[in-house]
Amino acid sequence: MIDPASRPGTPAQVQLGDDGRLRHFIDIEGLPKALLTEILDTADSFRGVQEAQVKKVPLLRGKTVANLFFENSTRTRATFELAAKRLSADVLNLDIKTSSTAKGETLLDTLQNLEAMQADAFVVRHSDSGAAHFIASQVTPRVAIINAGDGRHAHPTQAMLDMLTIRRHKGDFSRLRVAIVGDILHSRVARSQILALNTLGAAEVRVVAPRTLLPVDVEALGCRVFTRLSEGLAGADVVIALRLQKERMDGALLPSESEFYRHYGLTRDSLAWAHPEAIVMHPGPINRGVEIESAVADGPRSVILDQVTNGIAVRMAVLSMAVSGQTREREQRRQETQ
């Protein structure tokens, strides 16, 4: 477990350089609306790259991005790898299960060896909350740290690709009522989504779940809590379904998956409670017949595959901004010492 006492500074202090620009991307908390908007605008500009015949730009040519996934992932890892390659970076995928950490090497020793290889960014996914923050406090200042999900704490790039998807389909956040449905208790995505939606000025953020899957004092994040699906979806403009994270559950929090689906599953019938033009989202992986009906996941209101496409653009934006931020700071320090 990562020791919180070893993580100096607030998330905003750790993530931002002296010029207020991005140098790490660890958490949504504390980041200003202007910076989140800049990430979205930059990602929007990269959408054109993905639609071009040659899907590459030279922004990170000569840079090295190391993917450090201490937790299994398919979608997130693949989109980060594609994002780095489309920025023309060299990509190193570290297989943790066969790496030296599996043979007894400490995390810090692994990081120092990667630093010695002159890596410019670490994309980190870890089962411990606070892992990315800890790593950012330990590595040399020239390495940008991107959080690809840490424990139950945060998944900031997932939240931002969701925000890009919402903005592209709905425009202004200030009129939107967003309902997040499912396993809120174990979801790092939900926490990051709530913070991002509030920072970007959403009219109302709702969480909908049985009481056993709601964190204590979740309202403090800036959301309304509903335990009845009909009330939580009423008039919602955006509906985000979350999967049941059984791998993180301790004890029997639900009678059964079928019981959860009966009361909280997103189906054609339950979606009728939302606004007629509501869009449906899911961060994946989808469990069909558990949290969402196939007819909804594949239906005309679903923008789930758009989320995947937008994930590449957002991760290109974050990587380019953070690595550029580190380069600017390094150049500034060099000039100051001359």
Q: Which domain CATH number covers 40?
A: 3.40.50.1370
Question: Are 176 and 297 contained in the same domain?
Answer: yes
How far is the C-alpha of 316 from the C-alpha of 156, rounded, in Å?
14
% of the chain exceeding 90 in pLDDT: 70
Instruction: Tell me if 334 is assigned to some domain.
Output: no
> Taking the C-alpha atoms of 289, 294, 296 and 301 in order, what is their torsion angle to the nearest 10 degrees?
140
Ligand-binding site membership of 285 (annotated): yes
Instruction: Tell me if 212 is assigned to some domain.
Output: yes
Ligand-binding site membership of 61 (annotated): no
Residue-level pLDDT at 225? 98
Q: Are 135 and 70 in contact (CB under 8 A)?
A: no
Q: Helices 75-86 and 33-51 meet at what angle, rounded to 10? A: 80
Ligand-binding site membership of 333 (annotated): no
**What confidence tier does 112 reach under pLDDT thresholds 50, 70, 90?**
confident
Domain that holds residue 165: 156-302
Instruction: Tell me if 337 is assigned to some domain.
Output: no
Question: Are 182 and 52 contained in the same domain?
Answer: no
Number of domains in the chain: 2
Ligand-binding site membership of 125 (annotated): yes
Amino acid at 73: S
pTM: 0.90
Give the pair of three-digit tokens for residue 4. 């919180």
Ligand-binding site membership of 243 (annotated): yes
Is residue 176 predicted with pLDDT exceeding 60? Answer: yes
Question: Are 16 and 104 contained in the same domain?
Answer: yes
**What confidence tier does 4 reach under pLDDT thresholds 50, 70, 90?**
very low
Instruction: Tell me if 335 is assigned to some domain.
Output: no
Question: Are 145 and 194 contained in the same domain?
Answer: no
The secondary structure of 248-279 as a DSSP string is: G--S--SS-HHHHHHHH-B-HHHHTTS-TT-E
Instruction: Tell me if 167 is assigned to some domain.
Output: yes
Instruction: Tell me if 49 is assigned to some domain.
Output: yes
Question: Are 89 and 221 contained in the same domain?
Answer: no
Q: Which residues are CB-neighbours of 317 under 8 A, at least 6 positions away?
A: 39, 40, 42, 43, 46
Residue-level pLDDT at 1? 37
Ligand-binding site membership of 155 (annotated): yes
Question: Are 290 and 163 contained in the same domain?
Answer: yes
% of the chain exceeding 70 in pLDDT: 86
Count of CA atoms in the C-beta half-sphere (13 A) of 178: 30
Instruction: Tell me if 333 is assigned to some domain.
Output: no
Instruction: Tell me if 28 is assigned to some domain.
Output: yes
Ligand-binding site membership of 47 (annotated): no
**What confidence tier does 52 reach under pLDDT thresholds 50, 70, 90?**
confident
Ligand-binding site membership of 170 (annotated): no
Question: Are 196 and 138 contained in the same domain?
Answer: no
Is residue 223 predicted with pLDDT exceeding 50? Answer: yes
Per residue in 122-135, pLDDT tens?
999 998 999 999 99
Query: Which range (30-44, 113-127, 304-318) has the least confidence?
Result: 113-127
Per residue in 235-255, pLDDT tens?
999 999 999 875 544 544 566
Question: Are 45 and 112 contained in the same domain?
Answer: yes
Ligand-binding site membership of 104 (annotated): no
Ligand-binding site membership of 191 (annotated): no
Tokens 């100096």 identify what position?
Answer: 8
Question: Are 111 and 211 contained in the same domain?
Answer: no
